[in-house]
Amino acid sequence: MKPCPASNPMRLFLHPNGTTPDRRRTAFQAVETLSQHFDCVVAPENASWLDISACKSGGPEDCDMICAIGGDGTILHAAIPAIRTGKPLFGINMGHRGYLCAFHRDELPALDEQRLSALVPSPRTLLGFSWHGEERFAVNDIIIAKGEFGTTVTVSAQEEKNTIGQWQGDGIIVATPTGSSGYNASAGGPLLTPDCGCFVLNPLCPVAHNGNAIIYPDVHTLSLRAKTRDAQPDAQVYVDGTLLGPLEHALSLHRYERTLTLLIRA
C-alpha cells in the first residue's frame, strides 16, 4: 500500500515591517521561523532584503492568509492587499502594543496550522472617501487637523442638508469601530465594538463646551468641511496616520463597500 501524500502546508503571504535596520533584523528572524512551518510568499520588494531562499516571491492572490509582522501600523499597511484580495489578515506583534495582532513574537516557535485554524474572523467596517477622484478607505480613522500650531480650525459635519455639528479647535477625528481604541480613545472618545455599525466623530480640543463626541450610524454619508482663521494654512487630512494633504473641498465619508477580515483569538 502506498503511503498517503502529505497535505500541502498552509500558504501565508508575509507582510513584514522593514522600515529600520532593527525592524528588518527581527522581521528576518520571524520569516525564517515561519518558513519552517508554512509555505511562505513575500512581495518582490521585500524578497530583495529578506533574502530567504525558503520564501517565494509573489502576491497574496493564491495564499490562504496574510500575516503582518510588526505592530498595529504594519496591520494597517497589510490591510491594503487583504482588502483588495479578500484574504483574512492576522498580525504577529514584534513591538510593544500590537492591539490588533493575534500573536506575540514569543509565540512564534509554537505557531502552527492548528493555532492559525483556531483564529476567529472578525469583520471590520471601513471608512470610504474620495480623494482627487480616487476612491480610498481608512481602517482606523480620518483626521482633519489645523495646519499650524497656535491657531484653530472650524470643522462642520453635514448629512445631506442637515448639520450634525460644528466645532472650533484643533480638528476632528472620525474613527471606525476598529480605530475607536486608538487616537480617538486617547482624545477621550468612546470605545465601539467591531459590530456596532457606526462611526464616532470626536472633536480635538474644542474651544466651546459643546465638544462631545457623536456616535453616528454608518448607513449615512457625512460631508466634512473646514475653514481656518486669518488666512492661516489650510486644514490637513490624515488617513490612518498618513498625511494626504490640505482639505481643499468638502470631504464625503461613507461606509466602504468592502470589509477587512481580521483574524483574532476566540
Residues annotated as catalytic are 72
Nearest residue to 60 via CA among 72, 73, 42: 42
Q: For residues 105 and 108, what is the distance between their CA atoms, to the nearest angstrom?
A: 5
Cα dist from 133 to 136, 240, 251, 252, whole Å: 9, 19, 12, 12
Q: Does residue 17 contact residue 27 with C-beta atoms inside 8 Å?
A: yes
Give the amino acid at 142.
Answer: I
Torsion (CA) 259, 261, 265, 266 in degrees, nearest 10 = 70
C-alpha cell at 223: 460631508
The CA distance from 243 to 234, in Å, is: 13
Q: Which of 58, 44, 50 is nearest to 30 (CA)?
A: 50
DSSP states of 43-65: -HHHHHHH--TTSEE--STT-SE
Query: Which set of grid coordinates corresponds to residue 126?
Result: 471601513
